[in-house]
Amino acid sequence: MRSAAGLALVVLLAAGCWNWSFPTDLLADGPGPDSPVADLRVDGGQDFALDLEPDLIPDQAPPECPPCTNPATPICDKGKCRPCDSDGECLNGFCNATGECPAASDIAHVNSSSRSCPGNGDKATPFCAFVDGADSGKAHVLVEPGNYDGDVTLDAPQEIHGKPGAILKVSACDKLLIEKAKVTLVGFTIEGSIKIVSGTGVLLRDRIGPSACIGVEATGELTLERSFIFGHDLGGVHVKDKYSLVNNIIAQNGTPGGPQFGAIKLEVAPSGSRLMHNTIAFNQSKGGAKEGAIRCEAAAAGSMCVNCLFWGNTPNDQGYPMGPNCNPLFSIEDYKSPASAPSHTSNFTVTDPKFVSLTPGTDPADYHIQPTSPARDKGNPLATGLPADDYDGDPRSDGQPDIGADEI
């Protein structure tokens, strides 16, 4: 109790709430040699010592960083410089994919609500149209919330970030294109589809759909991570080059009588490609020799979906929603594999994945799993190239990760 009372005295004195002179005769002997003390002065400058328990002494201030002048590590954190993690950490509101904070002169700003239209692209007088930011020649483009015409061909190396509420409206198939260059789109809602004709498309944390097209069609290289692909009549993702498909929710794509596939179609399987930790649910195809989940052509034989959650997808005529050239590994399946299919002894057949919603729809949160899901702690922790985070950016387990895009 002595230390609690002493702490209260410090608070009152520091706040100026108590004008009181400590009796000097009580300080004749002073504190013991091993006692932690706090020295104070009151009124006429009289010294006294206040005994505090060690655990009540305030923590020392965190160590100061050296100047973080290296562009690769611009953020001070607990005495060390590190890469940025999010746009909000950077003074200019932009953290690029390599963890650098670009200079203001390297960023084009776009705001459909600006009164400076057409603007010159700086923060004070931003462009009003998405296409103007894309054509600015700047390496980085920051797009404010609003509705934008998405019928644009992106053919210069750029990283384009959309703040929450930035919506690209695409009028028809093959209207939002990436050609010849590496283009990164982060954080957009794309109402429609996108096609990577050549070059490289990097799609991170995007919501893409619905459309009457293939949602994401890639003749060039494709990185698709932490994105929600839904409601595309001709299928979700069609890949014809090297790919990295990780931590995505791909749902409600395809139609019963139409496409050759529902969620994913792989034409090839180049070295270094990744297909893991995806939740693939309620996708449809016309059945027969077609698959609702993943279709792998002959050149993609041996493709494996590692730590993936399959649920409610249209099966082919063998009762198998993945083609015979595709192999799930440490994944959840909602069907009985045919005898002619590859061995699936590492997978799990369950009766209910226990999604958060009983009737998942167009909200990615519907496809998150409950704490009692059989997907918990069932993934392969030793697979090459496992992501450190999940669909939401939450860290994966240090032990066995959860199956699918979501980590509890």
The per-residue pLDDT for range 55-88, each reduced to its tens digit, is 544 556 667 788 899 999 999 998 999 999 999 9
What's the confidence (pLDDT) of residue 63? Answer: 72
Quote the CA–CA distance of 232 and 2 in Å, as a whole number: 69
What's the confidence (pLDDT) of residue 61? Answer: 62
243 and 309 assigned to the same domain = yes
What's the confidence (pLDDT) of residue 65? Answer: 82
What's the confidence (pLDDT) of residue 348? Answer: 80
136 and 190 assigned to the same domain = yes
Mean pLDDT per block of 10 residues along the chain (408 residues) reads 43 41 45 46 46 51 81 94 95 95 97 92 96 98 98 98 98 97 98 97 98 97 98 97 98 86 94 96 82 91 92 79 84 63 64 92 96 95 94 94 97
pLDDT tens readout for residues 242-277: 999 999 999 999 998 777 799 999 999 999 999 999
Q: Is residue 405 situated within a structural domain?
A: no
128 and 218 assigned to the same domain = yes
Phi, psi angle pair for 89, to nearest 5°: -80, -15
For 171-318, strand residue ranges (E) read 177-178, 182-186, 189-191, 194-196, 200-204, 207-208, 216-218, 221-225, 228-230, 237-239, 243-246, 249-251, 264-266, 274-276, 279-281, 294-296, 303-306, 309-311
Kindly state the helix (H) or strand (E) to which residue 132 belongs, with its residue range. Answer: helix 130-134
Q: Is residue 376 situated within a structural domain?
A: no
pLDDT tens readout for residues 298-349: 999 888 999 999 999 988 766 677 887 888 889 988 765 444 444 555 788 7
C-alpha distances in Å from residue 169, one per residue of 14, 152, 158, 335: 59, 10, 20, 37
Q: Flag whether the pTM goes above 0.75.
A: yes
> Is 147 exposed, middle or buried (CB count within 10 Å of its CB: 0-12, 13-18, 19+)?
middle
What's the confidence (pLDDT) of residue 60? Answer: 61
Choose among 389, 261, 252, 396: nearest CA to 326. 261
296 and 348 assigned to the same domain = yes
**CB proximity list for 86: less than 8 A, separation 6 or greater:** 95
212 and 232 assigned to the same domain = yes
Residue 176's domain comprises 104-367
What's the confidence (pLDDT) of residue 3? Answer: 45
Please name every residue paired with 163 in a beta bridge, in sequence order, or none if there are none: none
- The rounded Cα 317 to chain-centroid distance in angstroms is 36
The neighbour count for residue 303, using CB atoms within 10 Å, is 22
Query: What's the domain count of the chain?
Result: 3
Q: Is residue 397 situated within a structural domain?
A: no
Residue pair 317/289 in contact (Cβ under 8 Å)? The answer is yes
